[in-house]
Each structure stands twice: as structure tokens, then as C-alpha cells.
Structure 1
Amino acid sequence: MTATEGLLVPPGHGRVVAAPAQHVTFKVTGSHSRSASTFEVLVPPGFDVGAHVHTRSEELFYVLEGELDVLAFEPRVRTPDNWRTWQSPSGSRVVRATPGTVIVVPPGCPHAFANPTDTPAKMFFQASPPPDHEHYFEELLDILGSGAPPDQKAIEALRTKYDIEQLTPLRHR
């Protein structure tokens, strides 16, 4: 790609990184953009990314299909287990995001998403700056694709490596 040529990624194209029942399609990477990495993410039933926070990254989520429970605020109290019960000082609570919902998460804002339904959800996901989330997804799906229960210690080390402070556990059924 040159400065006078853009990038067009047709439907169904991009580099896929997968684990059973879950995959991420890299649509725009740090080699294409200085501002953000862009992904299409399939969120399987029962998947809970866990509440977490980044000091550097800004994220944008757009729900394309299905439903996700979503958190994007600093809670009154950061309880270590169930982020779905959190409430902000202003009264914000976790919401059920449906197709067309946009969530913007600035650096320092705790956030989480989970698929509470029995069907997969799909979202457009953008992370800035690139390429941290690209490397994170590659390594996370490698861990989740092992066939064994998720190795929480390995996930914790991975998240620390990529500026992710985990507040509640990642869950994957």
C-alpha cells in the first residue's frame, strides 16, 4: 500500500486467527495503518473477556450480530469476580448491546464484554495504537486453542505483556 493507494478488504477476506468456536479476522493491521488495528471478532456463547483496563489503548466496538453484555465505566467498587453487577458513581450499569450498538473505551476505562446467549455474536473491533492487539489476539487464541481449560496464568502473563490489567477472570466454556 502506498500513500496514494488505500486498502479494500472485501467481505470474507482478511487474515483469520482461530481457536475452537472463536475466531478473529484481521482486517487492517499496523502495516496498513498508523492509527488503529481493525478486526472482525466472533464471540462464542459463554465467552467472557473479563473486566480489564489499558493504560495506553483506546478501543471501539460495534456489534454486528447477536448480543453482548458490555461494561465501559469505572465502577464504585471493583469486585474481583462478577463485573456484571458493577455500577458507576453516576448510576451506569452493564448493558445488553444489540446490533448497531457502538462502545468507545478510552485509555484507563475499565471495560468488558461477554456473550450470555446460546448463539455466536460478531463485532467490529478497533484498537489504537497498533499492533499490540494484533499480537495479543494471535497469542490468546493459541492458548484458547489448546483444547484444555484456559491456562489462567498464561493469560495473565499475556495480558501483562500487552498493557492489559485484568480485573476479573476471562471465562471460556
Structure 2
Amino acid sequence: MTATMTQAMVVPAEAAEVVGLPSGGAFTLLADASDTAGALGANRLTLEPGRDGARPHYHALSTELFYVVDGEMEFLLGERVTTVAKGGLVVVPPRLPHAFGAVPGTGADLLIVLTPGIERFGYFRQLGRIAHGLEPFDGLLPEQERYDVHFVEAVAWQSLRGSR
């Protein structure tokens, strides 16, 4: 029998864990899969101007939703790069390679929801340690299945973001 949520979940702002990034941005951890009986996972990501949010990757099991709360973002969606401004929504189906980052000169604030949920708070904590130079990125590679984050090469993204 699959567990289901039986009560509403409320996460006051002051109760959310914040994983700071050295550039001044942060992951705010709102709901992990275990908090929602696997229904979803949710976090907020703030990025400083021009900063990358994620390398090219895909999720084998989940759909990912991005709502741009503020600022302007560049998204890699398959082979296409598109810009999405404040108030815009992006929904990425399973297995579609994607990446994202703040537009140069503009910071960004994103609400990100992954459904069904995967336990990923550990992933965001590890990304924070990597960003601070405390761990190598390669340490994430053995965790791709666990976190349903499968890294890929993307020439279009590298051409756009790597040249800056």
C-alpha cells in the first residue's frame, strides 16, 4: 500500500533549511519526498546575476516545474535554449535534458517542484559543499541514480554559458 499525505503541510519561512552558495545565492529546502509521502519535492533557488543553477542533466522518474519568482533565467530544454522572465513557468518532462542559470546582469529567484518526489535534500547539501570547494563535483557522479539526476553533455549549453 502506498502512503499518502493525510494532513496539510506548512513550512514557515524561518523553519526552512537554507544552504548558502558562495556567490550569495542559496537553496531553500522546503519539502522533501518523505515530507509529502512521495508526492513532490520543493525548493527555492536564488542566484546572483549570471550564475548557473544546474549543469545539463535529466530526471528519469520525475517531472520538474520551475516558476520564475523574480529575475530572468536561461533554460536549456533538449537542444533549445530559451529565456524566461519573472512570472514565467517551465515544465520539464522526464528524460528531457535541461539546465538553467540566471541571465547575465540579472539575478533570479526560482520555485522548483519535482513530482513525484525524490529524496533530494542530501543532493542540495552536497551541491552547497561542492560550490564552497569542500567536495569535488565528481563525488555526485555515483549518486545519480539515488537522486534521479543524470548528468549529460550539452553542446548548446556549453556554447552559451561556457563562453562567459
Letter in 1 for 2:17: R
Matches within 5 A, 1:9-88: 9-11=11-13, 13-20=15-22, 21-34=24-37, 35-48=39-52, 49-73=54-78, 75=79
TM-score (norm 1): 0.73
Distance 1:132 1:15 in 2: 15
SS for the counterpart of 1:118 is coil
Match of 1:104 in 2: 91
Match of 1:129 in 2: 116
Q: For the Cα contact (< 8 Å) 1:139–1:158, is it kept in 2?
A: no
| Paired-residue identity, % | 28
Distance 2:15 2:107 in 1: 19
Q: Which runs of 5+ in 1 are unaligned?
A: 76-92
Could you tell which deviates more after superposition, 96-105 or 138-147? 138-147
Q: For the Cα contact (< 8 Å) 1:18–1:145, is it kept in 2?
A: no
SS for the counterpart of 1:31 is helix
Q: Give me the CA root mean square deviation.
A: 2.8
Could you tell which deviates more after superposition, 136-145 or 160-169? 160-169
Distance 1:163 1:131 in 2: 7
TM-score (norm 2): 0.76
Distance 2:63 2:14 in 1: 26
Matches within 5 A, 1:83-94: 93-94=80-81
**Cα offset for 1:53?**
1.3
After superposition, the C-alpha distances for 1:31-72 in whole angstroms (9 at most, x for unaligned) are 321210111111233322222112112211000011110122
Distance 1:157 1:22 in 2: 26
Aligned length: 151
Distance 1:163 1:9 in 2: 24
SS for the counterpart of 2:130 is helix
Distance 1:47 1:155 in 2: 20
Q: For the Cα contact (< 8 Å) 2:50–2:106, is it kept in 1?
A: no
Runs of 4+ in 1 over 3 A off after TM superposition: 10-13, 155-161, 168-173
SS for the counterpart of 1:138 is helix
Letter in 2 for 1:153: D
